[in-house]
Amino acid sequence: MALSNQDGTADDGSQTKHTRAQAERTGDRRGRTGGFGRRSFLGVAASAAAVPLLGGAAQAAPDARRVEIVSTGPEPTSYEFTVTGKIDLVKGTTERNDAVTENDDGSWTAAGQVVDGGRDAYTVAGEITDFSPEKGAFELRVDGSAVDPAAVGGESSGSSDSATEGGETAGTADLESPELLGGGDGYPNAVAESEADVVAATLDELEQALNGASSGDVVYVAGDATIDATPATGTERLTIPSGVTLASDRGIDGASGGEIKTDVIDWETLLWAESDARVTGVRITGPLSEYIEYSKPVSSGLTVKGSGVEIDNVEASGFSHSAIKLNASAHVHHSYVHTNSMDGLGYGIMCYGGQDTLVEYNRFDFNRHSVANEGTAGYEVRYNRFEGKAIAYQVGTHRPGATTLKIHHNTFIPTKHINDGVDPSCHVTIRGVPDDVADIHHNWFHNPKKPLDSPDMWTNEAIVQAHVDEWSNVEYSDNHYGPDEPSADIGCPR
């Protein structure tokens, strides 16, 4: 539908014909659903206790972020918060006892209740000006970072129940730091073994712990453990129940994290994650270490089958189908996903279902496709670094073309495709026509070849649309092409 002729960066802030048309058609989609700013709208204020957190910060906030209220105990917590801009429910997480209303002054208010490990999630535009209660059996997160509710929209109390080692609260940690791309060393939201309800070091212990866990529990893989899950029999899989956290110590004092692995490709998935589960700090490892031709059977590492799942600070590698397979929307962030390297499949993250998947602040390397879409789901891919080796295009979708795709503020480094030897070749490929739009902006593409004026099937520019004769529901602007470094507002944190 829209074709951009803005092929370079635009550091002067000028608005191209493309972005004007986009704003007219969507009511400024980027203003509704994805912030451009390098820092989160909590990060500016969080570094200074005297500045109201989220509201009234000296620096303008990005346009939209993910806000989550996560229950940490069996007692219900009723909450309410107000935002200067619009609030949208994240489908699948806030559909029962939650309400969003627009106020007479143009602000929006959300109210709801979480209990027993449950999680409510919203996408918000503008600043949070009020949040209540200040304390309770819950955690407030903004883009994955825990925030002190007492500091939102008012004076900081200087206290928080979510203090991390070293005296720094999670609310003051800058999760958008370049050093934290991919998680690992220094990741501030790591779960310590002392927080675990059960610690497992063998397959039997892990199976028993997961089978006996209930919402709100933390099942911990011992940091020095390598659990070979291959012996599991029949059709049973290791399942993380709803609301349960599966954790290990990746990034704590330089630890690599406890490992769950298999050395054979003989089943479809190693782990299932049910609704509102969290997987953090673990390594999930399959048998692949090099590029192979397509063959059966195929295997995946972690399969999400319920909404509201969070996957963070994880290393996932070695699977022929997909390291992370999403049958529902999920939040995947600060993880290292690599060496899922079989031809024909070989996905780092594959989206089969859901419309609200958020993939951010990850590192990807040596996957056939690092983030892919089966063709009917939606996703936002932002602030990621695609590095090392590429087997084919790094981000894209299959036909019929998916729904809404947002691909922005990423850095794409590898230009050579191992499967065909072409160098440079495409980074992003849209196969078919999205129902809504594929909005591609503020990315740093190391491939210097800009998109063609008209698509021409399988070509080798940085952005390609296949199976069409003209650009259709694909919009691109303010991207940078080539290895020379662009301005700081282009690409992932660096």
> How far is Cα of residue 494 from the mean position of the Cα atoms in its chain?
18
- Which of 155 and 276 is assigned the larger pLDDT? 276
Tokens matching residue 134: 């200040």
> Can you spell out the DSSP letters for 129-191?
EEEE-SSSSEEEEETTEEE-GGGBTS---S--TTBPTTS-BGGG--TT-GGGTT--TT-TTPP
Strand partners, 410: none
Q: What is the pLDDT of residues 461-470, one digit of tens each?
A: 999 999 999 9
Residue 46, helix vs strand vs coil: helix
Q: What number of other Cβ atoms are within 10 A of residue 263's Cβ?
A: 12
In whole angstroms, give the CA distance from residue 67 to residue 62. 14
Separation of alpha carbons 44 and 174, rounded Å: 9
Which pLDDT tens digit goes with each residue over 394-403?
Answer: 999 999 999 9
Q: Taking the domain 193-481, which CATH number applies? A: 2.160.20
User: What are the domain boundaries of the chain?
Assistant: 43-156, 193-481
pLDDT confidence tier of residue 170, bands split at 50, 70 and 90: very low
**pLDDT value at residue 231:** 56
- Segment 45-73 shows an average pLDDT of 50
Calculate Rg over the CA atoms of the chain: 22
Please choose, from the candidates 120, 124, 112, the residue with its C-alpha nearest in 3D space to the C-alpha of residue 55: 124
Distance CA 281, CA 239 (A): 17
Q: What percent of the chain has pLDDT over 90?
A: 63
CB 175 within 8 Å of CB 40? yes
Assign 32 to helix, strand or coil. helix
Output helix, strand, coil percentages for the chain, rounded to the nearest 5: 10, 35, 55
Residue in this structure with the two tokens 């309770």, named with its chain if needed = 136
Q: Which residue has the higher pLDDT, 436 or 88?
A: 436
Please report which confidence band the pLDDT of residue 265 belongs to, taking 50, 70 and 90 as the band edges: confident
Task: Please give the single-letter amino acid code of residue 121.
Answer: A
Three-state SS at 78: strand
Give the containing element (helix H, strand E) for 45. Answer: helix 43-46
291-324 tens-digit pLDDT: 999 888 898 999 999 999 999 999 999 999 999 9
Q: Is the pLDDT of residue 92 over 90?
A: no
How many Å apart are CA 176 and CA 366, to the nearest integer? 23
pLDDT digits (tens, 9 = 90+) for 391-435: 999 999 999 999 999 999 999 999 999 999 999 999 999 999 999
Q: Which residues pair with 82 in a beta bridge?
A: 109, 130
Tally of CB atoms within 10 A around 392: 20
Q: Which of 161-175, 232-246, 262-276, 446-460 has the lowest mean pLDDT?
A: 161-175
How much is the pTM? 0.76
pLDDT in the model for residue 109: 93
The three-state secondary structure class of 415 is coil
How many CB atoms within 10 Å of residue 137?
A: 17
Q: Residue 397: beta bridge partners?
A: 430
